[in-house]
Structure 1
Amino acid sequence: MRAIIGLWRWRRNPLRRTTDLVEAWLALATLLLILVAAPSAGAAVGVSMQGTLQKAVRDQRKDRHPVAAVVVRRLSRGPLAPDPETPSGRDAHSRVVADWTAPDGTPRHGTVIADLKTPVPGDRFWLWTDRHGRIMGRPLDSATATTHSALAGFGAAVLAAGLLESARRLVLWHMVRRRHAGWDRAWAKAGPDWGKADTGS
């Protein structure tokens, strides 16, 4: 808005300098680019990320399988930190020794994290494994992938807007430096004779 007001103010002003118009047009062009290019960049990044992450969701769902495990014994007394990928941060987990059967039929035995607050031998819980029964992380879900894509798109839009504004300020800084250098040269030429008689000042 300030750019448009600046252009209107300098439209027929007799004190207008060329640099004043350039600054106003630069501000207007930057504003238009921020309103058009930044959201476009954000949308492009968001769509690209959405495609990549949704493919990862499909791949992980294909490669990771939920299997039932049985607690053999508990290893630690206190609950561990909750799984960051669970929807609720209140879910307490414990380290246990457990038995499970891989999707390919291989029996497995090992130390795992169980989503049980107070596991006792014989308790059943679910694990995510590959087809050979090796423990895998919980697969990414579609809603989380969409959220990450939206955040990436928003971040890209903000970054694009920041870069455009930084470029405008850099050009403006160079213009101001040139203007001040011109004033310094003019003052150096007129300064020594300033106020003396017959010097045209």
Structure 2
Amino acid sequence: MVAFRGPKVWLWRWRRNPLRRRSDRIEAWVVLAAWTFTVLGGVVTGLLATRSVEQNLDRQRIEWRPVVAQLTEDAPGAAATSAPGSTRVWAEVRWTARDGSAHTGQTRVAPASAVGTPVTVWTDTDGRMVTEPATRSEARVRSSLIGVLVGVTAAGVPFVGGRLVRGRLERRRMEEWDEEWERVGPLWGRKTW
């Protein structure tokens, strides 16, 4: 059974009214808590996620360094590229980390490059190959998008929770009305004159 909804009256749950039930007061607090946690939780979580991603990307920009590596094999020709229209091919390279240890890995290079051709690769503090770090503007866009996504997701949890609680309260209110009508309804059938 669906409840009848009349015209919208703002803050009706907070007004004094002798017809206001206990479930109306509970629903008022549930709505207030759900919206508060939805707005504040979403904004705070989104800002924290944005800040965390920005700091991580800033740290990567500071710590990651370009290193000159040499090809360990001849790079395949342009016909062997994996993607049509691609100007780069995959090839194995070797480089020496800051601590003097030798590393190897795969990176994209110009087609038909010869063994020993120098190639620039990016490495982290442990000497492992990583992608080139994001520029400041790329980091700003990436962190903003992640912050919005995390904020909206975090805001959805209390919003959905509040809707579920309100739905349960409404079902309980309809059950109470049915019980009351079963008691009062038969009395209306009698003739009073």
- Length-normalised TM-score, structure 2: 0.64
Give the whole-Å Cα distance in 2 for the aligned partners of 1:137 and 1:186: 70
RMSD of the alignment, in Å? 4.3
Which residue of 2 is the match for residue 69 of structure 1? 70
**1:1-201 mapped onto 2 (5 Å cutoff):** 6-7=9-10, 17-18=20-21, 19=23, 23=27, 26-27=30-31, 30-59=34-63, 61=64, 64-70=65-71, 72-75=73-76, 77-81=79-83, 92-96=87-91, 102=96, 112-116=106-110, 118-121=111-114, 124-128=118-122, 136-143=129-136, 144-191=138-185, 195-197=189-191
Question: How big is the shift at 1:172?
Answer: 1.1
Please give the secondary structure, in 2, of the residue aligned with 1:74: coil
Percent of pairs identical after alignment? 23
Bigger shift: 24-33 or 136-145? 24-33
Question: How big is the shift at 1:46?
Answer: 1.6
- Length-normalised TM-score, structure 1: 0.62
Judged with a 3 Å threshold, the aligned counterparts in structure 2 of structure 1 residues 119 and 110 are, in CA distance, closer, same or farther, namely: farther
Q: Which fold has the larger relative contact order, with Cα–Cα distance below 8 Å and residues 6 or more apart in sequence? A: 2
Question: How big is the shift at 1:194?
Answer: 5.2
Question: How big is the shift at 1:158?
Answer: 0.5
Deviations 1:126-176 (A, max 9, x none): 2345799x7612243343444433223212221232123212212211220
Question: How big is the shift at 1:67?
Answer: 0.4
1:50–1:145 CA contact under 8 A, matched in 2: yes
Segments of 5+ residues of structure 1 without an aligned counterpart are 83-89
Which residue of 1 is the match for residue 5 of structure 2? none
Please give the secondary structure, in 1, of the residue aligned with 2:9: helix
**How many aligned positions are there?**
182
Question: How big is the shift at 1:186?
Answer: 1.4
Give the whole-Å Cα distance in 2 for the aligned partners of 1:130 and 1:55: 11
Give the whole-Å Cα distance in 2 for the aligned partners of 1:8 and 1:109: 67
